[in-house]
Amino acid sequence: MSPKNNSPKPQRFILIDTCIFEHLDIPDLYSQIIFLLRDAVSKGYGLSLAHYTYFELIDTATVENEGKAASATGRLKRFKINHTILTIAGHLGSLYHEDGIDGKRQKPPDSGDKIIGAHAVKENAIIFTTNGRDFPRPFFRTMSSPLLKYTKTDGREVCLVSYFLEPVQDVLVEKYAARMAEHEKKEKKKQEEIKRKEDELVLKPADENR
């Protein structure tokens, strides 16, 4: 089951991450997640997912689970992968790497997370996830972080922090502009060095060029 968006023109979309759909299989989490999504819809938000998320849900799934995925996502808006999305995802990866999210201090998000992040950037959508590290700061910021609780079969209680994250557009623009400016600076310096060497050859006495 997925909450239906009753607003014909959502003010903004909630982009539901793959892990949220997976949590729906846990009864205690199901009721809490549906409550949060219905609350978002009541406030004028639309519900959506990336096409990549649907791929993740049905990849290696049984026929039964594939049917569940289709049912859970059927009413939601889907954002398609295209050249623009892949370009943004690639740029996100470059910005993450240059910001130190390169596997040394912090594990970088995988390709799917970058694609989902790219949809959020392009649509200015809000990501709903329990994997906050997949959408790192300062590129994304937390709008709210509801606590989700459930009890395991052995009686242990587990708490999950969920996140509603939005892309920080001004930071993304600033860091991308700085990256391009640095590239142009290096290219200018490279061209100046090439010209300097060419000028040196022209100014050398003829006998030195023999």
What pLDDT digit, counting tens, does each position of 122-171 carry? 999 999 999 999 999 999 999 999 999 999 888 899 999 999 999 999 99
pTM of the predicted protein model: 0.84
Q: What is the CATH number of the domain that holds 61?
A: 3.40.50.1010
Q: Say if residues 29 and 65 touch (Cβ distance below 8 Å).
A: no
Which pLDDT score is estimated for 1? 46
User: Domain limits at 53?
Assistant: 12-167
Number of domains in the chain: 2
Q: In terms of DSSP H, where are the helices of the chain? A: 18-23, 27-42, 51-58, 63-73, 83-98, 111-123, 169-203
Closest CA to 26 of 163, 132, 159, 164: 159
pLDDT band at 3 (very low <50, low <70, confident <90, very high): low
Whether residues 123 and 20 share a domain: the answer is yes
Q: Say if residues 141 and 170 touch (Cβ distance below 8 Å).
A: no
* pLDDT > 60? residue 15: yes
Closest CA to 133 of 159, 160, 113, 157: 113
Whether residues 209 and 148 share a domain: the answer is no
Mean pLDDT of the chain: 89
Residue with tokens 């569940």: 68
Q: Say if residues 130 and 165 touch (Cβ distance below 8 Å).
A: no
**End position of a domain, from candidates 136, 152, 167:** 167
* pLDDT > 70? residue 10: yes
pLDDT digits (tens, 9 = 90+) for 68-81: 999 999 999 999 99
Tokens of 208: 């030195």
Residue with tokens 């100014």: 203
Of 79-83, 103-107, 174-178, 186-190, give the lowest mean pLDDT range.
103-107
Domain-located, residue 5: no
Q: Which residue has the higher pLDDT, 100 or 3?
A: 100
Residue with tokens 């001004």: 170
Which amino acid is located at 132 in the chain? G
Domain-located, residue 78: yes
